[in-house]
């Protein structure tokens, strides 16, 4: 037996405060030593020279990035920068990628990302794109799984705290995104008293179209809804394929959640939207064009340069006028995740403050709609009777349920933040099968492949918030962590834990085989249409246009050409356009020049990357390659001479 020490942790108090005082008190867990089977090591050991079985794309939470881990080893393979500047590869610093971080508010260099989604065809992963949301300045990004780079970012108007996002429909027709905060419905003038919330604020859900061939994103329409907080979402599959489901909390429509304001209703709601019908309304013209402002940023594959555009209107469907396509279903207290099982029949609402876990039936929802089993309306939207939609309840499964995932055999797995455990239960009869602790305070969990119609099953990963006593302490902030479970048997087995970059929320894993065709991808020089590209070291040159200096530089093992540049003057704006003229996979070159506040760039083979430099000191400023690229890497260097303003040293190289 291998023993991992786990000491007790006091999380009852803080957790309960975080969730209000409604819950039964939760005793601190004393876990002592955790036994892990000897087999566990064998199961997760991926020998040198061997590949992992799955890519796991884990949202980076407040870091704004996506981290890629190998499963089952838990090895960190890459950090893909999305919503934050990244000091590992120049994303957001260099001239090529800077405008990816543009928004209608200007340059936003750091955001908070929560949920990943892989593109799907017929409710199965197709290995083309990964989508992820930014919460704060609301955006959705598309990552190209060929290059593992961010290809596009679209901002969402009328949205704040873009949390219920980006939950795709099962043929990636739409990305669905709900606002957490409702905002004034006066689209031109948001300067209204906060106390007028109930009358003047509206919640918005966006439907973003995904181009079938290119993956290109465009905001198709929005729904204006009651001023609830729309927290999470999932789209249906099979019979429920035309539907998206959202959890709504603060259905009291309070503008301050400080007191118990927002949790005195015994039930909040799940909002079920027939998005196909909504799209028909949009196509028929049942909308108003509303003024707004949002950015759309695209990384062009041929030039590897991003462009940013600000758009200024959006189609908004007022659900007080058109509401034959959406329904509210009561769901006990402060629901967080809403999860749809692989068959598309069961919809699980995870009430954070609820004792039982409700499971709704899509068939019953349809029958209820047909037979008008309603219990009044909210703002014109029919409320389906709880019992009419209910398949069953899992009785007292744990405390603080957040998210549910599914295997291929009709089992569900729910994460419980407060009782810090995962509970396995049967969809068929809502009976509990097994439970296992997590260390500690799990948020999301992922059964690999669970959001397709055929989960991989086999492994489950828990993403934990608190890792006290799990790893060597690293100052006041401990690492976040994932725990890997074998779920191939009746009982769940913990087999590995590994630290993650902060903070992991949702994650999506895909079989490595699916991405095999993309391995060894890099840009051919002939396909590089960057305007500053050069193809040979002979084409290297420097040019002056007024106070702008363009340096066309070639990088190849083991030279930077040109390497002695004179005639730059204070007051100049210097652009180093570095083309890595290597035509071999995985030979990047880096580049930086002393004192440059844009820091560094990293240039992939066949690509051109531009570093802007405004010299602010007279002298000789060395530059060099920052990526150890060959035995003569240290020889990849040069000098730039900066002369005073008005100097007549001619530009030369
Ligand atoms: Cu539960 Cu932002 Cu998906 Cu994290 S949210 S835990
Ligand atoms: S060098 S191989 Cu900077 Cu000693 Cu690293
Ligand atoms: Cu190029 Cu080091």
pLDDT tens figures, 462-498:
999 998 888 898 899 888 999 999 999 999 999 999 9
Other CB atoms within 10 A of residue 30 CB: 9
The pLDDT value recorded for residue 262 is 63
Q: What is the mean pLDDT of residues 282-307?
A: 97
Share of the chain above pLDDT 90, in %: 86
Shortest-distance ligand to the CA of residue 633: 3
Q: SS3 of 96, please?
A: coil
Q: Is 234 in the pocket of ligand 1 (CB under 6 A)?
A: no
Q: How far apart are CA 174 and CA 220, in angstroms?
A: 9
What does the pLDDT read at residue 261? 61
Distance from the alpha carbon of residue 512 to the mean position of ligand 1, in angstroms: 25
Please report which confidence band the pLDDT of residue 292 belongs to, taking 50, 70 and 90 as the band edges: very high
- What confidence tier does 333 reach under pLDDT thresholds 50, 70, 90? confident
Torsion sign across C-alpha atoms 533, 534, 540, 541: negative
Pocket residues for ligand 3 (CB within 6 Å)? 555, 589, 625, 627-629, 633, 636
Q: Is the pLDDT of residue 556 over 60?
A: yes
pLDDT at 520: 87
Using the predicted structure, report yes or no on whether residue 452 has a pLDDT greater than 60. yes
pLDDT over 90 (residue 427) = yes
Mean pLDDT of 98-116: 98
Residues 373-398: tens digit of each pLDDT: 999 999 999 999 999 999 999 999 99
pLDDT at 260 over 60: no
Averaged pLDDT, 574-595: 97
Averaged pLDDT score across all residues of the chain: 93
* Percent of the chain predicted with pLDDT > 70: 94
* Per-residue pLDDT, 7: 42
Which pTM does this prediction carry? 0.94
Tell the burial category of 118 from Cβ atoms under 10 Å away from its Cβ (0-12, 13-18, 19+): buried
Q: Whose C-alpha lies nearest to ligand 1, atom 2? A: 114
Report residue 519's pLDDT band, with 50, 70 and 90 as the boundaries: confident
Indicate whether residue 444 lines ligand 1 (CB < 6 A). Answer: yes
pLDDT of residue 259: 63
Which ipTM did the prediction report? 0.79
pLDDT tens by residue, 17-61: 344 333 333 333 334 457 788 789 999 999 999 999 999 999 999
Closest residue (by CA) to atom 6 of ligand 1? 443
Q: Residue 518 corresponds to which tokens in the numbers above?
A: 């993309």
| pLDDT reported for residue 33 | 59
In DSSP notation, 4-20 reads EE---B--HHHHHHHT-
């Amino acid at each position: 037996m291998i023993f991992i020490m786990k000491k007790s942790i006091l999380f009852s108090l803080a957790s309960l405060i975080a969730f209000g005082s409604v819950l039964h008190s939760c005793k601190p867990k004393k876990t002592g030593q955790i036994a892990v089977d000897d087999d566990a090591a064998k199961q997760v050991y991926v020998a040198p020279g061997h590949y992992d079985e799955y890519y796991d794309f884990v949202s980076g939470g407040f870091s704004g990035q996506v981290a890629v881990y190998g499963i089952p080893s838990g090895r960190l393979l890459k950090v893909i920068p999305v919503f934050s500047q990244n000091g590992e590869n120049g994303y957001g610093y260099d001239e090529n990628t800077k405008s990816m971080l543009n928004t209608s508010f200007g340059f936003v260099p750091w955001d908070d990302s929560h949920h990943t989604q892989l593109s799907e065809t017929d409710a199965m992963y197709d290995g083309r794109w990964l989508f992820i949301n930014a919460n704060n300045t609301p955006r959705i990004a598309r990552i190209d799984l060929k290059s593992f780079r961010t290809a596009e970012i679209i901002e969402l108007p009328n949205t704040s705290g873009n949390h219920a996002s980006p939950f795709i429909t099962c043929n990636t027709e739409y990305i669905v995104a709900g606002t957490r905060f409702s905002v004034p419905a006066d689209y031109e003038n948001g300067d209204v008293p906060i106390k007028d919330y109930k009358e003047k604020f509206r919640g918005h859900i966006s439907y973003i179209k995904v181009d079938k061939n290119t993956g290109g994103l465009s905001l198709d329409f929005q729904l204006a809804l009651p001023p609830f907080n729309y927290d999470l979402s999932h789209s249906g599959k099979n019979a429920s394929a035309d539907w998206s489901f959202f959890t709504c909390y603060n259905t009291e429509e309070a503008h301050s959640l400080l007191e118990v304001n927002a949790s005195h209703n015994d039930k909040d709601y799940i909002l079920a939207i027939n998005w196909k019908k909504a799209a028909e309304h949009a196509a028929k013209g049942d909308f108003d064009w509303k003024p707004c402002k949002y950015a759309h940023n695209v990384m062009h594959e041929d030039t590897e340069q991003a462009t940013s555009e600000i758009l200024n209107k959006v189609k908004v469907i007022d659900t007080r006028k058109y509401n034959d396509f959406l329904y509210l279903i009561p769901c006990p207290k402060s629901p967080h995740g809403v999860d749809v099982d692989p068959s598309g029949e069961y919809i699980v609402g995870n009430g954070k403050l609820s004792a039982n876990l409700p499971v709704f039936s899509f068939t019953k929802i349809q029958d209820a709609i047909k037979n008008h089993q309603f219990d009044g309306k909210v703002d014109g939207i029919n409320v389906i009777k709880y019992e009419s939609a209910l398949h069953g309840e899992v009785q007292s499964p744990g405390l603080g349920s957040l998210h549910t995932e599914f295997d291929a055999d009709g089992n569900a797995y729910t994460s419980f933040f407060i009782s810090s455990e995962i509970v396995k239960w049967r969809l068929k009869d809502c009976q509990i099968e097994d439970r296992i602790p997590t260390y500690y305070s799990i948020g999301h969990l992922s059964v690999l492949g669970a959001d397709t119609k055929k989960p991989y099953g086999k492994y489950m990963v828990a993403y934990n918030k608190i890792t006290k006593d799990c790893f060597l302490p690293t100052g006041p902030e401990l690492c976040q962590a994932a725990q890997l479970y074998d779920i191939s048997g009746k009982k769940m087995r913990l087999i590995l834990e590994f630290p993650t970059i902060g903070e992991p929320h949702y994650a999506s894993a895909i079989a490595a085989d699916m991405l095999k065709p993309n391995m060894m991808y890099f840009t051919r020089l002939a396909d590089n249409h960057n305007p500053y590209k050069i193809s040979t070291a002979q084409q290297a040159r420097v040019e002056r246009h007024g106070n702008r200096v363009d340096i066309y530089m070639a990088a190849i093992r083991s030279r930077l050409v040109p390497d002695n540049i004179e005639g730059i003057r204070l007051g100049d704006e210097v652009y180093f356009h570095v083309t890595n003229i290597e035509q071999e996979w995985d030979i990047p070159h880096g580049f930086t020049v002393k004192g440059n506040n844009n820091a560094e760039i990293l240039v992939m083979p066949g690509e051109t990357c531009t570093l802007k430099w405004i010299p602010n000191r007279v002298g000789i400023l060395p530059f060099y390659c920052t990526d150890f690229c060959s035995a003569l890497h240290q020889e990849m260097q040069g000098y730039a001479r900066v002369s005073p303003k008005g100097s007549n040293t001619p530009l030369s190289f």
